[in-house]
Amino acid sequence: MATTDQVRKWYHQGVVLNHADRGKPGYHPHCDHDHPRVNFPSEGGAVFAEPVHPFTFEAFTAYVAVMRHHDETMPGSGGVNSCRNIGDGNWPSLHAYLCAVDLPPDSRKSAAFLTSVKAIRTNSGAVVFRNLRDDRMHDQINTSPDHLRSGIDWTTVIGDGGSDDDMETIKALQKQCNAGGFTDVNGDELEVDGILGSKTQFAMNSLAVAASIRPPPLGGPWAPEDHGHDTKGRTV
């Protein structure tokens, strides 16, 4: 099972943070999130269009399919994007990396929903999400970008993941890739069809790599190091 600090190491690319003062008193991440968005179902048929780390787009799309199957919704206090430190330390939360999602309160999720989320696998067999035992509302990415590049094994996902909202999100991303010159593996523009296939995934990966080499807005690039967890030993 991946620790939070390992996930930080894996996904610092593609997310712009100011790490110049990381770990110092009063540190706060400065985030620049211009990333693809996934439509999380909310109450009354509405959606939350939440930015996610580019490498995790298909993973969170699968998460949303499980939410719909179990009639889970995103409350106003939940979400993915939160440019903040963990609760009582100077370490960036995985929400600042767009690699975690909260569905509060802790008592909200059913056991069946948690089981379905934990069942999601990549085509390479990796477990995609983990739920924190001491923070039941929090699910975070549990595997590396290399495994996610193999794609999600949709036979492990309860729900089809093919809602109109999802297709429109993928179409917008395909248009973004085409506009930026990010092609499929054959060098061709993507067909804007709302289908998250291998060609779209290849172009998305190229887009994510391009995003990762943008200079941080404050301070220099950060070389990730294993500094451990917060003062209470949590992996939040």
For residue 59, pLDDT beyond 90: yes
Which of 52, 218, 213 shows the shortest CA–CA distance to 129?
A: 52
Can you give the residue range of the structural domain that contains 86?
4-212
pLDDT, position 141: 97
pLDDT at 101 over 90: yes
Q: Where are the alpha helices (DSSP H) in the chain?
A: 4-11, 57-69, 111-118, 145-149, 164-180, 198-212
Q: 70 in a domain, yes or no?
A: yes
Flag the least confident range among 61-65, 94-98, 170-174, 177-181: 170-174
For residue 148, the tally of other CB atoms under 10 A from its CB is 25
Q: Does the pLDDT at position 196 exceed 50?
A: yes
More confident of the two residues 85 and 141? 141
The total of structural domains in the chain comes to 1
Question: According to the model, what pLDDT value does residue 142 have?
Answer: 97
For residue 229, being part of any structural domain is answered with no
The stretch 201-212 carries a mean pLDDT of 72
Structure-model confidence comparison of residues 117 and 185, the more confident one: 117
- Rounded-to-integer distance, Cα 172 and Cα 36, Å: 9
Q: Which residue has the higher pLDDT, 141 or 193?
A: 141
Is 152 inside any structural domain?
yes
> Are 24 and 66 contacting, i.e. CB atoms less than 8 angstroms apart?
no
93 in Cβ contact with 82 (< 8 Å): yes
DSSP at 148: H
Phi-psi region of 27 (alpha: psi -120 to 50; beta: other; left: phi over 0): beta
Residue 220 placed within a domain: no
Residue 150 lies in a domain: yes
Q: How does pLDDT run across 158-192, given as a tens digit for each residue?
A: 876 555 666 777 788 889 889 989 998 889 999 99
Q: E strands within the chain?
A: 37-41, 47-51, 100-102, 129-132, 135-141
